[in-house]
Amino acid sequence: MSDETVFAQNIKTTMKKGFFNHAFMPMNSENPIYCVWEAKEGISDSQFQDFIDGPYGVNWGLVALNKNVMKIDLALTGGQTPYERKF
């Protein structure tokens, strides 16, 4: 399978699980990587943490990254999201 095919399949799989990655933003090779994920309504913080730490998260289940999850409080943005919603 080509890298494009694998990437497309990963997107389909994560969306079926209720998650979509809008942005992957490495600052440089030695500093943080920021990501913006969307989760379907009703997914708990712990369910998201389990997903992001698991085999479909940002490093496919490896322990190479320390993933600190921070939730965007949409009440502070008037309900505006940084990206068009997928769910």
Number of structural domains (the chain) is 1
Q: Which pLDDT does position 63 carry in this prediction? A: 65
Q: Which pLDDT does position 77 carry in this prediction? A: 95
Which structural domain range is residue 80 located in? 1-32+54-87
Q: Which pLDDT does position 62 carry in this prediction? A: 60
Does residue 42 lie within any of the structural domains?
no
Residue whose pair of structure tokens reads 């990587």 in the numeric block? 33
Does residue 5 lie within any of the structural domains?
yes
Distance CA 9, CA 64 (A): 23
Does residue 77 lie within any of the structural domains?
yes
According to DSSP H, which parts of 1-87 are helical?
A: 3-17, 45-53
Mean pLDDT per 10-residue interval, the chain, length 87 residues: 88 95 90 91 93 79 74 93 93
Distance CA 8, CA 19 (A): 14
Q: Which pLDDT does position 58 carry in this prediction? A: 72
Query: What global pTM score does this model have?
Result: 0.83
Q: Which pLDDT does position 67 carry in this prediction? A: 80
Does residue 41 lie within any of the structural domains?
no
